[in-house]
Amino acid sequence: MEKSKRRVLDIVFKSEIVTDSHTKQRAADKRETSRQSKTIVREAIALATIPLVLVLGNSMLIPVLPQMQKALDISQFQSSLTISLFSISAGLFIPILGYLSDRFTRKAIIIPSLIVYGGAGVLAGFGAIWDSYAVVITARAIQGLGAAGTAPIAMALVGDMYKGGDESRTLGLIEASNGFGKVVSPIIGSLLALIIWYAAFFAFPVFCTLSLVAVIWLIKEPKKRSEPKKLKAYLHTIGDVLKKRGRWLITAFFAGSLGLFILFGALFYLSQILEKEPYRIDGVVKGLILAIPLMGLVVTSYTTGSLIKKNGLLMRWLMNIGLALMTASLTSSIFLHQNIYLLITFLTLSSIGTGLLLPCLNTMITGAVARSERGMITSLYSSLRFFGVAFGPPLFSWMMENSNRLVFIVTSALSLVTLAVVFFLIKPDRHLHEAA
- Indicate the pTM of the whole model: 0.72
Q: How many CB atoms lie within 10 A of CB 356?
A: 26
| Rounded CA separation 232/209 (Å) | 36
Could you tell me the domains of the chain? 41-425 (1.20.1250.20)
Q: Which residues partner with 431 through β-bridges?
A: 311
What does the alpha-carbon distance between residue 330 and residue 411 come to, in Å, rounded to a whole number? Answer: 7
- The predicted structure's pLDDT at residue 46: 87
Closest CA to 82 of 148, 133, 152: 133
Q: Spell out the per-residue pLDDT of the chain, length 436, in tens.
A: 444 445 555 555 455 554 566 665 665 555 555 556 677 778 888 888 888 888 888 778 888 888 899 999 998 889 888 988 998 998 889 888 888 888 888 899 999 999 999 999 999 999 999 999 999 999 999 999 998 888 778 878 887 888 767 777 787 777 677 767 777 888 888 899 889 999 999 999 999 999 999 999 888 888 766 666 677 777 787 788 888 888 899 999 999 999 999 998 998 899 889 988 888 888 888 889 988 998 898 889 888 888 887 789 999 999 999 999 999 999 999 999 999 999 999 999 999 999 999 989 988 887 777 766 666 787 788 888 888 988 888 899 899 988 999 999 999 999 999 999 999 999 888 777 655 5
Neighbours of 46 (CB within 10 A): 18
Longest dimension (CA), the chain: 126
Q: What is the DSSP letter of 311?
A: B
Instruction: Give the residue among 143, 160, 59, 138 at the shortest CA–CA distance from 93.
Output: 143
Kindly give the residue spans of alpha helices, DSSP state H, lying in 1-129. Answer: 16-59, 65-72, 76-103, 106-129
Q: How far is CA 23 from the centre of its chain?
A: 44
The string of DSSP codes covering 305-356 is: HHHHTTBHHHHHHHHHHHHHHHHHHHHHHHHHTTSHHHHHHHHHHHHHHHHH
Q: State the Cα–Cα distance between residues 376 and 371, nearest whole angstrom.
A: 10
